[in-house]
Amino acid sequence: MANAKILLDHGSGGKMSHRLISDMMLPLFDNPVLSQMDDGAKLELGGKRLAFSTDTFTVDPIFFPGGSIGDLAINGTVNDVAMCGATPQYLSVGLLIEEGFAVADLEKILVGMSQAAAAAGVTVVTGDTKVVPKGAADRIFINTSGIGVIPEDVVVGSRHARVGDVIILSGSIAEHGVVIMTQREGMTFASDLKSDTAPLHLLVKRMLGVSRDIHVLRDPTRGGVGTALNEIADRSHVGVVIHEDKIPVKNEVLGICELMGFDPLYIANEGKLLAFVGPAHAEKILGAMQADPNGLDARIIGEVVSDNPGMVCLKTRIGGIRIVDMLTGEQLPRIC
């Protein structure tokens, strides 16, 4: 281990990322808040419950159909805070810029961030800028942190899935990852496919407005739906069953995945969420999601079971059962 080195796989969001965090980081920093390992920390301060999250964005290319590294950085942290059930309010922005980066590109990114923050209703209240020598970074990396308030009677977290819960997916998967992959490879298609980057806090607010029987919220970014479901199954000690014919995937995404040999279940999304909800309120929550612009294609895709705790099983279109493991290896580095 003394000569071991960090690999791209350690940043994939899959098994090696999980191992790096659980084996190296948690033992050093372990505390009751961090050990929950949710998208954001849930804190109590001054009589209020707060959600606090941070994320760093290194996506390549920095401009892509549907967005840029700038609005991705705003929406990503807004969503991490929202997945705690909170209403995002304030953000910080940290810029790491390579010497020689075009000022015009920086301005374009910052304008996109300003517009994304305004659209999400959040305020950027602090930040930092560092410039490093040419070659010490690749153009620009962005860190954003965010904070929001959790309503009193909202309790969501990756350890709260229960047997009998219904699993809802807010829309079609794998679009962000496929767009980044095709742009990076210089592939062109007769398609209007674009990244799904979007803020999801208003969708969450709409869901919580019709029912508080929501136990888990998760945006399946790196590692995709497959990895996110595995993490929830593991932390909640439950089994998860999903149905292949219920999972929405656009035809062009399926075609590109087949061409490139990728499984859409493991490809990143930047504007979708998974919700584990009580069965009695599932249809009501689904209806609220389908009334939101970011949930028009929401569907029930599975359920939580007592069998095979910690495991995710996919019922295939032809009636078979396939185990969906956590992502191994790195499908596509610098996806977000």
pLDDT digits (tens, 9 = 90+) for 6-60: 988 888 778 888 889 889 999 999 999 998 888 899 999 999 999 999 999 999 9
Cβ–Cβ < 8 Å for 79, 272: no
Q: pLDDT tens-digit profile of 98-107? A: 999 999 999 9
Q: Tell me: the pLDDT tens digits for 277-329?
A: 999 999 999 999 999 999 999 999 999 999 999 999 999 999 999 999 998 87
What φ, ψ does residue 173 adopt, rounded to 5°? -105, 165
Bridge partners, 57 (sequence order)? 142
Q: Each residue of 195-239: pLDDT tens digit? A: 999 999 999 999 999 999 999 999 999 999 999 999 999 999 999
The rounded distance, in Å, linking the Cα atoms of 287 and 200 is 16
Q: CA-to-CA distance for 316 and 245, rounded, in angstroms? A: 7
Q: Which residues contact 49 (CB under 8 A, 6 or more apart)?
A: 42, 43, 86, 149, 150, 152
| N-terminal to C-terminal alpha carbon distance within the chain | 29
Pick from 177, 202, 204, 178: which is nearest to 191 by CA?
A: 178
For residues 150 and 163, what is the distance between their CA atoms, to the nearest angstrom?
25
